[in-house]
């Protein structure tokens, strides 16, 4: 094991997969000579050259289309969004091409494509750079969506995504790149469809993902001191949702709290609630509670920005009300 930053874990995964498979290449804005906005591709241009680490113009719809076309012909592109919100400019390519072509071609084409990059609410990045796009893409058939939260799962998820024959979107949080933790030196990957049990407990199941994992764990420290015993699940897979892991936990706790940075309307929590209520309503002792960001563009002002997203003290209050 070695302690590395999350951005280095992503870089290691990319480097190792590029060494392992010559069909893997990187495309995006400033991924080459500059080394990526958050240094995930640092020095890879020197090692692999212009063809496999390809700097592009600011034309997301064009280079996304190029990546999808190359995936159809047998290559394995990794598209870095300098900020994931920029990829809204490529929404047509992602939805109508990446998500659908394997189906509409009758299985004649595979689309082994990875789309990754920073997203989420940073620190005063303004509305257009603070978007959470997981709910935008969650409704698109044919996509797999994962959100990393630790250096360990970041590396394992990216490796699994690169090796997968379907389009995978990997969401990285802009405030987690400098998170440091242990990562195995040997090769490993993580399933793209499994949640992680972060903490075992008996009073309430708290489901979360990405940066909110740390807000939840901060709240858990306080809750334990107050005599509560929460179970915590990091979703990791946002599409498909690992509903079975949630149900297994609910059979112990019978109470569900969902904490997300996504907006409440049409968010990931809304889908989790729908699946639980549709198929597992009988194991609930209380209505599901969700804590989501407010449905407004994220303010630039620091105090107002903080007020739009869920804070640890709100999680504590929700658990106390839910458990009683």
Please report, for the domain that includes residue 278, its CATH number: 3.40.50.920
201 Cβ contact partners less than 8 Å away, ≥ 6 residues apart: 229, 230, 231, 232, 253
88 within some domain: yes
190 within some domain: no
- Same domain? For 168 and 249 the reply is no
Give the domain range for residue 252: 196-323
**Assigned token pair, 72:** 């159809």
Q: Is residue 45 flagged as an active site residue?
A: no
Enter the pTM of the model. Answer: 0.95
- Same domain? For 142 and 216 the reply is no
- Same domain? For 113 and 141 the reply is yes
What integer pLDDT is reported at residue 260 of this predicted model? 97
Tell me which residue of 28, 120, 110 sits closest to 66, measured CA to CA. Answer: 28
> Of these residues, 45, 80, 129, 196, which one is catalytic?
129
Q: What is the mean pLDDT of each run of 10 residues along the chain (324 residues)?
A: 95 98 97 94 96 95 97 97 92 96 95 96 90 92 97 98 98 96 95 98 97 98 97 98 98 98 94 96 96 94 94 98 93
- Same domain? For 177 and 254 the reply is no
> Of these residues, 17, 29, 60, 261, which one is catalytic?
60
What integer pLDDT is reported at residue 324 of this predicted model? 85
Tell me which residue of 49, 114, 61 sits closest to 86, measured CA to CA. Answer: 61
Domain boundary among 150, 183, 216: 183
Q: Is residue 60 flagged as an active site residue?
A: yes
Sign of CA dihedral 238, 240, 243, 249: negative
Count CB neighbours of 63 within 10 A. Answer: 22
Distances (CA, A) of 9 to 49, 174, 223: 21, 14, 32
Tell me which residue of 314, 248, 324, 317 sits closest to 286, measured CA to CA. Answer: 324
């Amino acid at each position: 094991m070695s302690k590395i930053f999350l951005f280095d874990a992503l870089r290691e995964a990319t480097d190792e997969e590029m060494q392992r498979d010559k069909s893997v290449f990187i495309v995006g804005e400033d991924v080459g000579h500059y080394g990526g906005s958050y240094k995930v591709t640092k020095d890879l241009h020197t090692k692999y050259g212009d063809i496999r680490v390809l700097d592009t113009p600011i034309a997301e719809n064009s280079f996304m289309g190029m990546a999808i076309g190359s995936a159809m012909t047998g290559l394995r592109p990794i598209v870095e969004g300098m900020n994931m919100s920029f990829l809204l400019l490529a929404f047509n390519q992602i939805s109508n091409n990446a998500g659908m072509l394997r189906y509409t071609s009758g299985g004649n084409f595979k689309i082994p494509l990875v789309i990754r990059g920073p997203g989420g609410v940073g620190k005063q990045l303004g509305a257009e750079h603070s978007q959470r796009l997981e709910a935008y893409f969650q409704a698109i058939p044919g996509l797999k969506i994962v959100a990393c939260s630790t250096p360990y799962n970041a590396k394992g998820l990216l490796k699994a995504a690169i090796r997968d024959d379907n389009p995978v979107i990997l969401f990285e949080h802009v405030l987690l790149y400098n998170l440091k933790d242990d990562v195995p030196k040997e090769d490993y990957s993580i399933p793209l469809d499994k949640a992680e049990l972060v903490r075992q407990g008996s009073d309430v199941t708290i489901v979360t993902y990405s940066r909110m994992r740390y807000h939840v764990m901060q709240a858990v420290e306080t809750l334990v001191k107050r005599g509560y015993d929460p179970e915590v699940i990091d979703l990791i897979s946002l599409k498909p949702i690992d509903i079975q892991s949630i149900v297994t936990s609910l059979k112990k706790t019978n109470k569900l709290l969902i904490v997300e940075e996504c907006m409440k309307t049409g968010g990931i929590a809304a889908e989790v609630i729908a699946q639980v209520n549709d198929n597992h309503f009988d194991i609930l002792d209380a209505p599901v509670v969700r804590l989501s960001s407010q449905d407004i563009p994220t303010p630039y002002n620091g105090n107002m920005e903080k007020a739009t997203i869920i804070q640890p003290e709100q999680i504590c209050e929700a658990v106390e009300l839910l458990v009683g």
